[in-house]
Structure 1
Amino acid sequence: MLDAALAMVHRDGLTVGLDHIGFEEVIRDAGVSRTAVYRRWPYKDLFFADLLRELAQGAAPAAAIAEEDTMRLLASVVAGRTKELASPHGRHGLITEMLRVSASSDFEAIHDSAEWRTYLALQATFLSLPDGDLRDEVQAALARSEARFVERVARGWEQIAGAMGYRLRPGSGGGFTVIATLAGATMRGLVLMALSDPELLTRRVSADPTAAGAHADWTLVGLAAACIATTFLEPDPDVTWDGERVASLHALLGHDASDQFSANPDRRPHPG
């Protein structure tokens, strides 16, 4: 029996579905008439097909921490270190630290996200659907959700890179959409691995992945983000750092830095 069942799994794949949700239990919790329900969905399979459509329409893949929380996190990195913005080496160190702390926070947030687990299950459920309209509709909805997620992550990378005076490295072969796709895939892959190997949540590696000149404790996903950043980004030589640009950066991160740049004894503008 086990051998026969294993052969079936290897042939057809392991399916994930909605079998744990009882149709009668849903009717009871919804507080609606059974007669009305069966008039709308004569067969429960029709209801579960509509439920899959609803889930796919609202699904969000591996949503990281909210953008405003990310900005607060990055602002905490810059706070008190404004002098470091005056030199290329200092800015390199700051953006390295931004990558380190934001990747770690995102990793923990995604791992604990019920929405991410739902999205993962939807992907697996979609694979088990037979060919037909329902499979096509769920696939299209998941693709739209994925595109929205990549767009949001790409916008975040572009915003932070621009604020810190970085640009896409010529010849790197990709734009911010490619960066977001690779970063998201790496993040989800490691979070998926951590479901069965929780030690990945606490594992840290002492490293200096961007050659910033100082070792720190990095998560694996942070190391991946640093590798992606150093592959695709470089300081923009056309950017000039002065008090106005520093103030703009702090405004983006949500706090006032109008007087902090004056604390730097060397107030001359520095090229990127």
Structure 2
Amino acid sequence: MVQAGEPGSTRPGGRTARVRAAVLAAAGDALAESGMDGLDLTDVARRAGVGRTTVYRRWGTVPALVADLLQDMAEQSQPRVETGSLLKDLLANARLVRETLAHPRQGRLFKAIIAAATCDERTARALHRFYEVRISEWAPCVEQAVERGDLPEGTDAREVIRAVSAPLYYRLLASGHPLDEATAERCARAAAVAARAGVYMR
């Protein structure tokens, strides 16, 4: 999570919350359209219909704005599904990741943020926090599978969840192969088989 005192870290309600929502939506649109190089605080203010000084006073820099956008994305992500079945839980996770990355706007948005994170430390930290939130949200489904006896004791739940989404991000960023439903199912099934075989034991 964004540390207390960082720009955009407060959670007030009312008009301030509406301004934040409008600015973050505008920032996301700008990132999806033009990437990090096209993200300008003045342009974001114009898109959001708020004063330029409001944006500069609250966020101050582009990395601070991106950090707040990532925190908001983590908070707004769909909650974990609990089915009582390891495979069904992993399938739900894989489908959610696939739908996000295959979405015309969200896929471009993630590409832009990941590219920026390779050369901007603050964006990288924000991206790492985003994924830690998402991994922490889904890891309990693996822990519950261990408790049920479906997986070996000592299975690293977080590594299992990472294994589900890693091939999907590879397709988004490297191979260019389709992000289709069949691929998402294959990722989930492969992670489940490997976990049962003890591949992800600590």
The reply to whether TM is greater than 0.5 is yes
Q: Tell me how far 1:18 sits from its aligned partner.
A: 3.1
Q: Which residue of 1 aligns with 2:167?
A: 186
Q: Which residue of 1 aligns with 2:7?
A: none
Structure-2 change in CA distance of 1:155 and 1:117 (3 Å): farther
Q: Tell me how far 1:148 sits from its aligned partner.
A: 1.6
Structure-2 change in CA distance of 1:120 and 1:33 (3 Å): closer
Q: Does 1:223 align with 2:176?
A: no
Normalization by structure 1: what TM-score? 0.44
Q: Distance in 1 between matches of 2:184 and 2:173?
A: 12
Q: Tell me how far 1:149 sits from its aligned partner.
A: 1.5
Q: Which residue of 2 aligns with 1:124?
A: 115
Normalization by structure 2: what TM-score? 0.56
Which entry has the higher C-alpha Rg, 1 or 2? 1
Match of residue 149, structure 2, among 166, 169, 173: 166
Q: Over residues 101-129 of structure 1, what are the superposed CA-to-partner deviations in whole Å (9 max), with x where a residue is unaligned? A: 53663354233444454333212112233
Structure-2 change in CA distance of 1:59 and 1:125 (3 Å): farther
Q: Over residues 146-175 of structure 1, what are the superposed CA-to-partner deviations in whole Å (9 max), with x where a residue is unaligned? A: 22221222112323x258x334325xx742
Q: Which residue of 2 aligns with 1:51?
A: 65
Aligned ranges 1:1-272 → 2 under 5 Å: 17-21=35-39, 23-33=41-51, 36=53, 40=57, 47-60=61-74, 66-67=79-80, 70-71=81-82, 74=83, 98=88, 102=92, 105-106=95-96, 108-113=98-103, 114-115=105-106, 117-129=108-120, 135=121, 137-159=122-144, 161=145, 165-169=148-152, 174-192=155-173, 196-198=176-178, 200-201=179-180, 219-233=182-196
What's the % identity of the aligned pairs? 19
1 or 2, which has the higher strand percentage?
A: 1
Q: Are the counterparts in 2 of residues 59 and 142 from structure 1 also a CA contact under 8 Å? A: no
Q: Are the counterparts in 1 of residues 94 and 185 from structure 2 also a CA contact under 8 Å? A: yes
Q: Please, which runs of 5 or more residues in structure 1 have no aligned partner?
A: 1-15, 76-93, 130-134, 203-218, 235-272
Q: Over residues 226-255 of structure 1, what are the superposed CA-to-partner deviations in whole Å (9 max), with x where a residue is unaligned? A: 232223237xxxxxxxxxxxxxxxxxxxxx
Q: Distance in 1 between matches of 2:79 and 2:156?
A: 23
Q: Distance in 1 between matches of 2:129 and 2:90?
A: 29
CA RMSD of aligned residues (A): 4.0
Pick which of 48-57 and 143-152 moved more: 48-57
1 or 2, which has the higher helix percentage?
A: 2
Q: Tell me how far 1:51 sits from its aligned partner.
A: 2.1
Aligned residues, how many?
Answer: 161
Q: Distance in 1 between matches of 2:40 and 2:128?
A: 28
Q: Which residue of 1 aligns with 2:10?
A: none
Q: Are the counterparts in 2 of residues 150 and 184 from structure 1 also a CA contact under 8 Å? A: no
